[in-house]
Each structure stands twice: as structure tokens, then as C-alpha cells.
Structure 1
Amino acid sequence: KKMSVLVALPDGGLRAFCKGASEIILTMCDKIVDSYGEPVLMSEEQVKNITDVINGFASEALRTLCLAFKDIDDPFNENSIPDSGLTLIAVIGIKDPVRPGVKDAVRT
């Protein structure tokens, strides 16, 4: 339900980018990018508003994904991507139509 990748930053350190199911990624985030592109702590009201957006997308039959990141300065085991303390970048709603032939397969 999520995928992460580590990217080396030009000034040293690493940045972990994560994407995945909204209900998973949102719980991993404690910050959000503000209108200036800076990470700020996420309030309970912001979490509620984001959850409302996710539910709104879902009610329009859209699959929702969240994108987030975390900068890593400390020595880090590359096999262990962080699962908390991330900064939310965006919530995305995508159309995920039923593939051809699936309706017939389900019917039988």
C-alpha cells in the first residue's frame, strides 16, 4: 500500500519520498508543506480537512494517494525507510477504471 525511494541530496544527506494509500501515508505525517514550500506542523484541524478531501475524492469514485517526504541527515540504513515524521506534499485523486474483461470474469 506504499512505496518509498531514497534520493541523495546535493548538499549531502538523503531524502525519502513516499507515495501510497492515503489512509496509510497520512498517518505517517506530522508536518505539511505550507504555501511557501516550507514544512510546518500539521494541526488536528488540517488532518480533518485533508481527510475530508480524501473522502470527497473517494465519493467521486477516485482512488486517492498521498505523497510525502522526510529528510535524513543521520547515518542511515538504506534498507529501513522511515515510517513516521514525514511531511505531506499532496493528496492526489486518480481514476482507476475497471479493466476490460473484469466485469465478465466477476459475473462467472
Structure 2
Amino acid sequence: MPEHLLIESEGPAYGPGAVRFVTDAAHLARAGDRTSLLLVDNAVFAAVAGASAEIADFTGVGGELLVDAYAVHQRALVPRDLVPEARLVEMDEVATRLLAPDTRVVWH
């Protein structure tokens, strides 16, 4: 089964585009597709506990929430600031997933 890897680089403060992107990821997960959402750059702020109802919906329907560890560190966040479902990842893991033949990638 192919995996969807959606990569978001803007946070909730950047407007409705970022919110819609996370909502789209939740729709894919709700439909039963393997769906991972990777938050990079300022999008890591969406993983802060209580920051995004859409992130809670995404993880609640079985989506996998990945958060760029480097971006978290650069923004002076610590893992305990994030929702429990967030999993910090390094770029080597992301690169492996990006190059997997069964992965469909969308970057926003």
C-alpha cells in the first residue's frame, strides 16, 4: 500500500492554506490511507500542545505526525512542548522515506 507523506512548512499563523493542508492529510488518514504529516520550518509550532485542532484531528484518525527535530531545536522548543503523538525525526529518515518507491509526497 502506498504511503502519503505530506510536508508542511508554514505554521497555523500563516493563514488558511496551512490549516487546509493538515485537514487534507486528515481526510486521507480517515479514508484508511497510510498518511504521515511532516512539520518543518515554522510549521513545527502547529505541533505545540493546544496550538492546532486540525493536528489533533489528524492524529485522532490515525495519521502519523512527524516533526523536524532540527526546526524544533532552532525555535527553542523542547519535546515536552509538543503533543504526545509527535515524533521527532532527523533528515536522514525523511530522505529515506522521500526516496521510497511506494511514497507519494506533497510539499506545501
Q: TM-score, normalised by structure 2?
A: 0.27
More helix by share: 2
More strand by share: 1
Q: Which has the larger radius of gyration?
A: 1
Q: TM-score, normalised by structure 1?
A: 0.27
